[in-house]
Structures are given as C-alpha cells and as structure tokens.
C-alpha cells in the first residue's frame, strides 16, 4: 500500500469560503471539503484553472464561528465530479496561531486527536 507523502495532514471541515481572482472580475463561493495548514479544498461550481493566483476568505467554519480570515494562494487542481468540483488551493503561507488563531487551534486539535487515535 502506498504511503501518504503529504507534508501536512488534511482534515475534513465544514465551512464557507469566498475565492477571488485579483485583477479579474472572478469570484465564487463554496464549502470546505478538506483543510490543512498549507491549503484547502473547496466544493464549488466555478472552474478556475490550475496556476491561477487567488485570494481565499474563510468566512466561517464549524467550531470557529465567524472568522473572515483572508489568505492568498494558487489553484493547484480542479477535480470535477459532476456539476460541482473541488478547487485545491495551496496557500502562500501556512495557517498560523498569530494570523488565524481559531483556525490554527482547530487544526492543531484535529491533529492531536488523530495522533491520539493512531497511538492506541
């Protein structure tokens, strides 16, 4: 079985985001599929090509209430399943306790739960 080579663990999360393409009149909203310290997967109907620079605003997420965290990044992939797809966004800077405290706290707690489960 192949080993997961990801640098950052991904976690499912319920949340709302708005994605904007700077300098263009392109904006879409969606729900979070998965999130990691360095990126996010977003369910959306919109198609934004890989390599496009974007701004991601995390409006709210389960356990964090309203947040309005703004991050920048690049579209790495767009997987289509039907009329909806998942935009994979790699952040320019990883989520931090200084800049996105509630979100960082959520991810650390999820990582700790996963570690505890795996150590049983």
Query: pLDDT tier at 63 (50, 70, 90 boundaries)?
Result: low
Alpha carbons within 13 A on the beta-carbon side of 36: 13
More confident residue, 46 or 79: 46
Q: What is the pLDDT of residues 70-96, one digit of tens each?
A: 999 999 988 776 778 899 999 999 999
Query: For position 3, what pLDDT does the model report?
Result: 47
CA-CA-CA-CA dihedral for 35, 36, 38, 39, to nearest 10: -20
Name the 3-class secondary structure at 81.
Answer: coil
pLDDT band at 30 (very low <50, low <70, confident <90, very high): very high
* pTM for the model: 0.84
The correct CATH number of 11-118 out of 1.10.3720.10, 3.30.365.10, 3.40.50.12280, 2.40.10.220 is: 2.40.10.220
């Amino acid at each position: 079985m192949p080993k997961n080579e990801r640098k950052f663990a991904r976690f499912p999360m319920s949340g709302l985001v708005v994605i904007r393409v700077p300098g263009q009149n392109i904006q879409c909203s969606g729900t979070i599929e998965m999130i990691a310290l360095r990126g996010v997967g977003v369910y959306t109907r919109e198609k934004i090509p890989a390599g496009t620079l974007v701004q991601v605003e995390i409006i709210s997420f389960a356990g964090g209430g309203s947040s309005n965290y703004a991050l920048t990044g690049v579209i790495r992939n767009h997987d289509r399943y039907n009329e909806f797809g998942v935009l994979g966004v790699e952040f320019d800077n990883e989520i931090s306790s200084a800049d996105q405290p509630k979100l960082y706290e959520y991810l650390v707690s999820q990582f700790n739960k996963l570690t505890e489960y795996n150590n049983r």
